[in-house]
Chains A and B, each alone.
Chain A
Amino acid sequence: MSQENGKETFIQVRNLKKHFPIMRGVFRRQVGAVKAVDGVSFDIYKGETLGLVGESGCGKSTTGRSILQLLTPTEGEVLFDGRDLTKLGQSELRKSRRHMQMIFQDPYASLNPRMTVGNIIGEPLEIHNIGDAKSRKDRVKELLKIVGLNPYFINRYPHEFSGGQRQRIGVARALATNPDFIVADEPISALDVSIQAQVVNLLDDLKDDLGLTYLFIAHDLSMIRYISDRVAVMYLGKIVELSDKDTVFDHSLHPYTQALLSAIPIPDPEKEEKRQRLILEGGVPSPANPPSGCNFHPRCSYATDICSQTDPEFRNLGTDSRPHFVACHHAEQFK
């Protein structure tokens, strides 16, 4: 899985797990664990946008944060430029952080209301001791311009801005240290429809101009198809399907992906009327107590005996040059 199509592997995630302990009683004994991320492995190529989709609570944000070491993984490796981030000491980790940043979902909650826009955007520069006061200020102004805001806003506070503008501030802050890799966790979900396209176009342009690599988390599948090069589909702590976006959207081999695709509303009454929908029953089970075998089996209309007994392997059913990873016992039948 290291060198495909001459694409350069940038980040390798290997068997990554993040379990949150469940504590009970006066002695805070651990009585179980929320298996938010339960053994995921994938590569991120240099310069690509890898989309990560799945229902709420299936572990997308936890995956993103664990890769950036904002959460300490329970198990597994994250190789970034050949170094395992999970093994780095504090100071080394801090140094590598300037190369990896995060953009958050909620442009209201993620900006400190008592800091000026200039201080918010410049903070990462201070943390990493980059430049002096003057050069930082220049850099902040430059960043404001890059994200399409007037440098004149530098002394204003977040509440003076709209949601879309705040998200631009969040993007400027993430770009401050000149990172190579950005985890964008639902960066447009909280924005109005007419503003979403503005922010998506901005992120797309920045990627080209600055040579960025994105892990783009979203639940809007049309947007994921639009922005991503490859797409990973997550269910209950695991990645169930991963391939280039057209393969995932047009030739999915996993029943969960197929159900997700079938749930997307299409803005065309004629198509909607003709459409045969595959409606998924029930909701996502608790990751504290995931179903046995293939954890999708209680909701899967193709499930057979083996599905409740054996966890399906995440295997490549595509070619070496166009891999298509799927975790389903019966994936062949969807070809």
Chain B
Amino acid sequence: MTHLLEVRDLVTKFYTEQGVVNAVNGISYTLDEGESIAIVGESGSGKSVGVLSIMGLIPSPPGRVDSGEALFNGRNLIGLSHDELRHIRGREMAMVFQDPMTSLNPVLTVGYQLTEALKLHLGMDDNQAKKRAAEMLELVGIPNPVKRLDDYPHQFSGGQRQRVMIAMALSCNPSLLIADEPTTALDVTIQAQIVELVKQLQEKLGMAIIWITHDLALVAGMVDKVAVMYAGYIVEQAPVHDLYKRPLHPYTLGLLHSMPKLDAKEQTRLASIDGLPPDLRQNFNYCPFAPRCPYAIDKCKQENPALMAAGPNRVSACWRWEDLREETGFGVNA
């Protein structure tokens, strides 16, 4: 079976003056048509570099995709020329970033920016493109869409700019939408609006989604599966229900326990994860989470666990995943 996207053993490094940063250390995942995956992890864990690598957007130098494949509709994106990638980006796959101002040009009207892409990728003429652009703004819930085409990005609120970005990303009907922390800079209320919008759009348009976030709570209700990243590795991947019910990696478990429960009357002390994430300028010949892991055993300090099958459709990079499964009362919601 061919997948819409199949990422295999992707390795991306930054060759900086301070040393080689091992940003992405061999990540693999697949995504089918219309499927959604969340990539979760704290800052610096390699989430953005992972997707920028498949889109050919790694600044080089200092960055380089050293090995691995990203098969999109069966075609390997790694190593494609800039022109080929530009054609795929924006048309077949599109991206929404955390800060819309970095991808919206402040001196051009929103209408201009929306119609350019339509003309470039879909060969529409002025009128067709304008009509479609207004439809897209309407689709993402911007009032007075025709009038607002003449406005500049700064005339929109933060939440509206993110909507404009989504409109732009979806205007050419891509089969894959990559959203890199698109709501992190927004208020919870606006975040909820955007999440709801993307869910509706996915139902309507059927695109596959990669949603990157540091917030495990945010994606619980919106994706099919979750990959948790730590220190440039995917350390656990599972269907969404399984992951929250029974995490099989101590880092996932730690993240879930360090979040206060909204509905719990009696709050128990937050279980914090001690220590700090590691410096990525090293080769891990031990489990990268070992220095912070309450479950670490000697083996963890001697050998870096590869991902192991840990049940149907799920993998964990932990020597002790079976012990975690056995431990009673372990599940966060169990």
Task: Give me the interface of A with B, judged by CB distance under 8 Å.
Answer: 55-56, 162, 164, 192-198, 200-201, 204, 219-223, 225-226, 246, 249, 259-260, 262-273, 275, 277, 279-281, 283-284
Contact = CB atoms under 8 A, between A and B. Distances in A.
Contacts of B305: none
Contact of A194 (B192, B240, B261, B273): B273
Contacts of A222: 217, 259-262
Contacts of B217: 222, 264-267
B94 to A, nearest CB: 24
Contact of A279 (B193, B218, B221, B240): B193
B269 interface: yes
5 contacts: A193-B42, A198-B272, A269-B220, A272-B221, A272-B222
B274 to A, nearest CB: 7
B148 to A, nearest CB: 14
Given A192-B42, A279-B193, A249 B262 contact: yes
A267 B274 contact: no
Contact of B256 (A267, A270, A272): A267
A283 B158 CA distance: 9
A162 B274 CA distance: 13
Contact of B254 (A194, A226, A259, A260): A194
Contacts of A270: 241, 333
Nearest to B260: A226
Interface of B: 42-43, 157-160, 187-193, 195-196, 214-222, 240-241, 244, 254-256, 258-263, 265, 267, 269-274, 276-277, 292, 332-333
Given A55-B187, A197-B270, A283-B190, A164 B276 contact: yes
A269 B193 contact: no
B147 to A, nearest CB: 17
Given A197-B258, A223-B260, A268-B333, 18 more contacts: A193-B42, A193-B258, A194-B292, A195-B42, A195-B272, A197-B259, A201-B269, A220-B188, A222-B260, A225-B260, A249-B262, A264-B262, A267-B216, A267-B217, A270-B241, A275-B221, A277-B192, A283-B158
B13 to A, nearest CB: 22
Contacts of A200: 270, 272
Nearest to A53: B188
A260 B265 contact: no
Contacts of A198: 272-274
Contacts of B261: 222
Given A194-B42, A280-B193, A264 B188 contact: yes
Centre residue among B43, B276, B333 by max chain A CB count within 10 A: B276
Contact of A266 (B191, B262, B271, B274): B262
Contacts of B272: 194-195, 197-198, 200-201
Give the top 7 A-B pairs by smallest Cβ distance, nearest first: A272-B221, A197-B272, A226-B260, A263-B192, A197-B258, A267-B217, A197-B270
A84 B108 CA distance: 52
A265 B189 contact: no
Contacts of B190: 55, 283
Contacts of A268: 220, 244, 332-333
A284 B160 CA distance: 12
A263 B333 contact: no
A77 to B, nearest CB: 30
Contact of B255 (A193, A277, A279, A281): A193
Contact of A225 (B189, B215, B262, B269): B262
Contact of B270 (A201, A220, A249): A201
Contact of A260 (B43, B157, B189, B255): B189
A221 B262 contact: yes
A219 B221 contact: no
Nearest to A283: B157
A263 B188 contact: yes
A163 to B, nearest CB: 9
A280 B269 CA distance: 32
Contacts of A56: 187
A192 B191 CA distance: 18
A277 B215 contact: no
B189 A193 contact: no
A217 B196 CA distance: 27
B241 to A, nearest CB: 5
A166 to B, nearest CB: 12
